[in-house]
Amino acid sequence: MTDEKLVCSNITKVYGKKEVLKNVNLELEKGKIYGLIGRNGAGKTTGLSMLSAQNPASTGMVMLGKEPVWENRKALNHICFSREINAIGANGQGNGSRVKDYLRAASWYIPNWDKAMADRLVKEFDLDVKKKVIKLSKGMLSMLTIIIALASKADYTFLDEPVAGLDVVMREYFYRILLEEFSESGRTFIVSTHIIEEASDVLEEVIMLDKGQIILKEDTQALLERARHVSGKEDVVDAATRGLHCLHEEKIGRSKGVTVLLNEGEHVQDNAELSVQPVNLQQVFVAMCKE
Amino acid sequence: MDGIKRNLLYWGYTIGQMILTIIVMVLIISIVTGLDEIGGILHSFCVTMSAYGATYMLLLMAVLGMALINNHMPLTLSMGSTRRDSFIGMEIMLHVEGLLLIGIIIAAGIFSGKAVSGMSFFNSVLLLAASAALCNLIGWAFLRYGKVVSLILYVVVFITGALGIYVLSALHAAGRLGLSEKWGWPVLAAAVMAVVTADGITIWLYARDVKKMEVRV
Amino acid sequence: MNEILTQEKSIYLQISEMLENDILRDILLEEERVPSTNELAKLYAINPATAAKGINILVEQEILYKKRGIGMFVKTGAKTKIKKRRQSEFFDKYVKKLLEEAKSIGITKEELVVMIEESK
């Protein structure tokens, strides 16, 4: 077990001519569930693969405490980013690996592998271990990734869209076992997802990524408390929101709606002329990404 | 050591599986062809293994080169291995298990009544280094230039190889090769040296690119 | 028209209330065209039938009316009408609740009246 922070400084990643990550700085603490939210192509997966040293960064450095993560098994033993299954399944021609081969490999490679937990989850997910990985459906692949991530017992565990392809019941089940494992172990999880509202109550902190840059990292509840949607007649709204940090605005005729992030001490009062409504995490995210 | 150990396990298992496939393949051929032979299936297996084992091994190792870099290396990295440990583990098991297969081929030769000379040792080293170099070369080409180039390389290597063997044996049959007993050894020794060097060079090239390899999504 | 839809109430009720608010706030003026069912559906990403249900409530209350081939319009006098209706609902919707809550936490009617008088 380590209580060190995972710190990523000035990470830039360039693929060809495309800058996928631009000078990203991030500090992750032990014992939190982080949500990584971003649109397709925002750099979520690339970011996670830099943090776990699965891909080399163009510039910058990731450190676990005093240990650099790159090519350092001492640091890597505390980190698990289980994702590759999907990619290998997609272009692995004729490689006949089965689910049980993957689980066996995991038991060899992952230092704190919890076999009992893996077995239990396989049973509960009703996953056929004899099935070839390339023949798994999207949902079953998600399950396999989840099993490896949870049973890895790694201090820093990354889940890249773990619920993609899972049905509602399975998604709820996943968040339940994630919380169960989290509260028992105090591990750190980073979960990226597009289904924001479902995850919003689970995420202690949210990290928003847009076009390769972190645009926000904040305690989820604190963020929601200072995010408001103000609507009414245009001049009334303008007067009420003057000087506030405005994320996004929309106009229809004389009507106007503005999503604002209030800073400490700022306030917008709901009255007869003005509707001030709370917004959810998804709405904050959409407002931040719309230009 | 822990980092290397888990890689020895994984690569040993993975490459071992492929080698087992050759043995099973030869066994199936022997069962089909050996049913009405006097010596029985075992004898037939040994004859086939001794005659074609080396060719099968070369063929297989080249295919293995692609599978190892495309499927297995990314898996080991995603499970938290360092590139260095994974690559070392792969190279060690490639050579160790290659040697094991050669051992089986030689044993099959002895069993089927072939004489074992000092040359067999050099031949073994030659085969091991050649197959490993081929595996590394194809894998490296796959990593650096992609699937198409490595496939083309694969075909080219085998066509030249087959042509070379054809030309050599034709010359030999015509008695034009002109290699006396006296010259046989130095030529073999030179060939061994060349192939071992090639193995070394491919490992070096490969290692250089694995160091900055991208795990594709 | 820029308010956010929530899950606390039926969507069609929220649509009709939103249009009412817009009329009260002079965002929609009398004898002015209101967005069509399809426009509303697109705007809030809701089913057109739901949007239509919201509009129909206002048509029944004679706040909106239909001009054939052109669309929905705000009726003259709609603003007063909405105010009147809301005034009549005020006791049930707000005062009753206020009294109930006050009672449950031990605030007397007299104290309540003082509070109201003191507030601006």
A139 plus A204 within the same structural domain:
yes
A24 plus A99 within the same structural domain:
yes
Residues A28 and A188: beta-carbon distance below 8 Å: yes
Residue of B9, B72, B215 with shortest CB distance to A108: B9
A53 plus A160 within the same structural domain:
yes
Domain boundary among A170, A186, A211: A211
Give the mean pLDDT of chain B.
86
- All chains having 3 or more CB pairs closer than 8 angstroms to chain B: A
Q: What is the pLDDT of residue A86?
A: 47
Domain for residue A147, yes or no?
yes
Read off the pTM: 0.87
Domain boundary among A160, A184, A211: A211
Q: Tell me the nearest-neighbour CA distance from B61 into chain A, angstroms.
A: 15
Residues C19 and C65: beta-carbon distance below 8 Å: no
A176 plus A66 within the same structural domain:
yes
Residues A208 and A37: beta-carbon distance below 8 Å: yes
* Parent domain of A246: 223-289
Q: What is the pLDDT of residue A93?
A: 45
Domain for residue A154, yes or no?
yes
A165 plus A237 within the same structural domain:
no
Q: What is the pLDDT of residue A232?
A: 92
Residue C28 has pLDDT above 60, yes or no: yes
pLDDT tens digits for A12-67?
999 988 999 999 999 999 999 999 999 998 999 999 999 999 999 999 999 999 99
With beta carbons under 8 A apart, name residues in chain A contacting B217. 45, 49, 83, 86-87
A98 plus A183 within the same structural domain:
yes
Mean pLDDT lowest among A124-133, A215-224, B40-49:
B40-49
- All chains having 3 or more CB pairs closer than 8 angstroms to chain C: A
Domain for residue A192, yes or no?
yes
β A6-15/A59-64 pair status:
antiparallel
Q: Is chain A in touch with chain C: ≥3 Cβ pairs within 8 A?
A: yes
Any idea where the domains of chain B sit in the sequence? 2-210
Q: Is chain B in touch with chain A: ≥3 Cβ pairs within 8 A?
A: yes
- Supply the ipTM of this predicted assembly: 0.88
With beta carbons under 8 A apart, name residues in chain C contacting A231. 1-4
Instruction: List the single best residue of B5, B68, B79 to mutate versus A (max A Cβ within 10 A).
Output: B79
pLDDT tens digits for A232-257?
999 999 999 998 999 999 998 899 99
Inter-chain touch B2–A82, beta carbons under 8 Å: no
Q: What is the pLDDT of residue A279?
A: 93
Interface size between A and C, measured as CB pairs under 8 A:
45
Q: What is the pLDDT of residue B140?
A: 94
Q: What is the C-alpha to C-alpha distance for residues B72 and B90, in angstroms, rounded to an integer?
A: 10
pLDDT tens digits for A125-173?
999 999 988 888 888 989 999 999 999 999 999 999 999 889 999 999 9
Residue of A nearest to C32 (CA): A253
CATH C-level class of C11-77: mainly alpha
Q: What is the C-alpha to C-alpha distance for residues B215 and C6, in angstroms, rounded to an integer?
A: 43
Nearest in space to A157 (alpha carbons), one of A170, A146, A167, A173: A146
CA distances from A17 to A25, A45, A57, A115, A231 (A): 21, 18, 14, 43, 42
Inter-chain touch B79–A95, beta carbons under 8 Å: no
Angle at B44 between CA B40 and CA B46, to 5 degrees: 125
A134 plus A227 within the same structural domain:
no
Q: How many separate domains does chain A show?
A: 2
Question: A 125-184 residues with CB below 8 A of B?
Answer: 154
Domain for residue A217, yes or no?
no
A203 plus A75 within the same structural domain:
yes
3-class state of residue C36 by DSSP: coil
With beta carbons under 8 A apart, name residues in chain B contacting A72. 82
Residue with tokens 């390339």: A134
The larger pLDDT score, comparing residue A93 to residue A114, is at A114
